[in-house]
Each structure stands twice: as C-alpha cells, then as structure tokens.
Amino acid sequence: MVKINSIQEIIGTDVLDHLGLVAATIDKLGISKQIDKLIPMTKRANTTMGQRATAMILNGLGFIDDRLYMFPKFLENKPVTKLFGENLKASDFNDDALGRFLDEVHTYGETKLYSEIALPIALRYKLLNKSAHFDTTSLSVYGDYDTDIVDDITTKDRTLELPSNVQPDYGHAKNKRVDLKQMTLLLATTGSSGFPVWMESHSGNTSDKKTLEESAQRMQKFCKALQSAPSLLYVGDSAMYANCVKHGNDLLWLSRVPENMNLSKGLLLRTDITWTELSDGYKMYPIEKEYGKVKQRWVLIYSEHAYIKEIATLDRNISKEFEEINKTLWHMSNSLFGCTKDIDNQIRKIEKKLKYHQIKYTVAEVVKYANKGRPKKGETPEKVEYQLNATLIRNELAIANMKLTKGRFILATGCSVGLMSTIPNENDFKEMILLHIKILMA
C-alpha cells in the first residue's frame, strides 16, 4: 500500500500482504465485536479488547514468532488504520495492552470465551456436522514455572466445571521435546472443513483417558443451553473408550476400541467374518457386544491401504528383531558361564522381549585343566564352564496372528443412544462409518 500526499509525491509504503483478507474475515465473522460484548472495557484506553484480539490473530497468522514486547515493531510497516480502525497507531498495541487482554481472557475463562464465539459462528454458517471429533496435542513451554502455585481464578459459568489449577508440567511430549515442560490443548472439530468448535487447555501431564470423555460431557451440556445447537455424536480415539463406557450413558459417542482388551483381541483374530463392502478399500462387520456391563454396537473395520502399510512395517520389525537378538546371542555364545542357571536366566530375559521369534538352545560343557595339551588319565579338571549354542527361529504362529490383525480396528458406540438409533438406513450407516474411519485414521 503506497501513501501519496496532495501533490502526488510518494511519502511512504505499508505492507498489507494477506493480512487484509484475515482482518476482513474477522470483521465478517464478528469476532472482534463479540469479544467487545463479552469482555467490555472497564477503563478508558485507545484500543478495545476486540481490537487487541484481532491484532494477536494477525500476528499469529503473520508467519513470525515475535514476543509481545516486539508487537509494535511487527505493526510499524502495516496499515494500522485500515486493519483496526481510525486514530490508531502501532504503539497502541504494546505488551501492556496485550498482556491485560490475556489476563481478562483468563479471568473470563478461555473455554467459555472460545465456545461463545465459535459455536454461534458454526451455527450461523451451518458448519456443524452431526459429529464432533475430540483430540489433544501438546505445546512446549519455555521458561521456569512453579507448578505448586494454585490458580484461584474461576470462570463465570460454573456449569463448565473446568480445572482451576492448569499448569505447565512434564508429560508425554508428542513433539519429542521431553526436556521441556508443556501444556495440553484439547480441540473438538466438526464438518468436512474441520471447524474447531470447542477448546480446552489442560496441564502438561494430563491424560487423554481422563480429559476426552469429560470434555465431551461439558460440550454437550453447553450445547444443550443453546436451543439452536443440534445433538452431536462425540468421536474420539481409544483413550476415550473406557470413560465413555463407564460414564457416557447420556452421551452419543463413538470411539476406537483399545486393541489390548481380551474381547477386542478375539474379534480382531476372527477369520469367519462376512464382510460388508464400503468404498475406498474399506470393509466392515457390525456386531453387538457387552463390556463393562454396557451393551454396545461394535464395528470391525478392515482397510486395504492400512493393511499394506502395516504389513510392510511388520516385516521391518521382524528383520530388526532378528538382527538385534541374533547379535546378542552371538556375543553370548562366545562367552563362558560359570553355571547353566546363568545361561537360562539370560535366555529368559531375552525371551520376554521377543515378539516374532523363539530361541532354541543347548549348553555344552567346557572343561579346563591346569596343564596345556591332552590331559593325563585320571587328571582332575581345574574348572568346568558352560557355553551356549543358540538358534533364533521365527515364531510363525505369532507372526500369522499379527498379520491377521493388520489393517483391522474396532469402532464402538453405546447401543441405547448409539449410531443405529440415529441412522435411518444401511446406506446412511455405511456413509457415517466411512466418514469417521477417515477422521480417526487421519
């Protein structure tokens, strides 16, 4: 954007780039006005809370990583009045203004504010699908934080029942930065565009098994307060399953079943299955099961694409195990042991790690005499040691069972409020199953 004075001289330039489109979209969705309505200014200031939020969104989508105190520098070559309104300048968006906005958001409640902005937008533009998919990610946090500090700030809406002492902490780092503390971010998305309609922040060591189903219950309670919001199917991975079975009586849920359960292992290994063909290389086999004293509808899914990938991975893992264990056995066979019990103990330790192989071995005596050469008749050995002779062979039965489960997984939903009560015919049932397969496989 070029600035020209009254005598047609260029006096400066501003860089708009893509930020004009972002600002126009924010204005069209009414995000800034909604924030001003929910968090009005209590003191006189040059900028409103909505304008500060808009500035932070533009910064976040500006492909940079500047700290808050650098924010005026980010805006110094931008057309501030075009983006935010008249009589504003870059210095109005300093770290004090943005920091106070973040404090107000925290006091109001991050989840409450987000949902009161996102859900009306989803309803207005018909972005809500019949389901909401829940998942979490971790965000690394730099700096030293005291996790013993308890945060007493609570939201205005106690129906959300969110934890009030969310803190950075060490946990399962999905980005492999185990050296850093982290926060956990939970999102619920809906529709083909993956529109995020629900957001929660949790401590860095929070388990998905605890948060996913509880978050679905909170979102359902919030949606019921909005009379125009439809009933949703809440979808999550296997971490969500146990709590859905235990507490999800009034929740319309769909979850992947953990594969380490005896009940699911038996279904994954079945060969007498009459498959129902789906599109894109998928097949399904619906069946009713009872787990945790709750009747459910399970759907066994087979994916041709997943099978090919998983078989290739299995073959690599078999070869890797053979090479590693064979090397260990070679070193053991070139060592001498004081007794056979030591060899047996070492072999048992190795066998506990084996998934695809078995060890067959014999032990030979190695007799040592005090003098070199052939021992004299009747000469007593100085000591007797033992040497391992081991062979590593493929465990064909275990490998065959593993191959049988590849490309397969199980989806489950409660029968009382489950899929079959909401899907009018078989074609719609197939279509919904296929949709959620793709979501959970993403």
CB atoms within 10 A of CB 113: 21
Pairing of strands 131-141, 233-236: parallel
Give the separation between CA 296 and CA 288, rounded to whole angstroms: 6
pLDDT of residue 421: 47
Give the separation between CA 130 and CA 424, rounded to whole angstroms: 14
pLDDT of residue 360: 96
For 378: left if phi > 0, alpha if psi spans -120 to 50, otherwise beta; the answer is left
- Among the residues of 39-78, which ranges form H helices? 49-60, 71-75
pLDDT of residue 232: 85
Contacts of 197 (CB under 8 A, 6+ apart): 115, 118, 119, 122, 127, 128, 132, 188, 189, 190, 219
Give the separation between CA 366 and CA 379, rounded to whole angstroms: 15
pLDDT of residue 246: 87
CB atoms within 10 A of CB 360: 9
CA 378 to chain centre: 72
Contact (CB, 8 A) for 319 and 273: no
130: closest CA among 441, 431, 440, 442?
Answer: 431
Helix or strand (DSSP H, E) at 320 = helix 304-333
241 SS3 class? helix
pLDDT of residue 157: 55
Please give the backbone phi and psi of residue 431, each rounded to the nearest 5 degrees, phi first.
-65, -40
Give the separation between CA 310 and CA 307, rounded to whole angstroms: 5
135 SS3 class? strand
> Could you tell me the CA-to-CA distances from 273 to 269, 289, 299, 403 in Å, in that order?
10, 15, 12, 16
Please state the domain extents for the chain.
2-108, 115-253
Report if pTM > 0.85.
Answer: no
411 SS3 class? strand
Give the separation between CA 141 and CA 187, rounded to whole angstroms: 19
Mark the ranges of the chain whose per-residue pLDDT is less than 50. Answer: 150-155, 417-424
Please give the backbone phi and psi of residue 267, each rounded to the nearest 5 degrees, phi first.
-70, -40
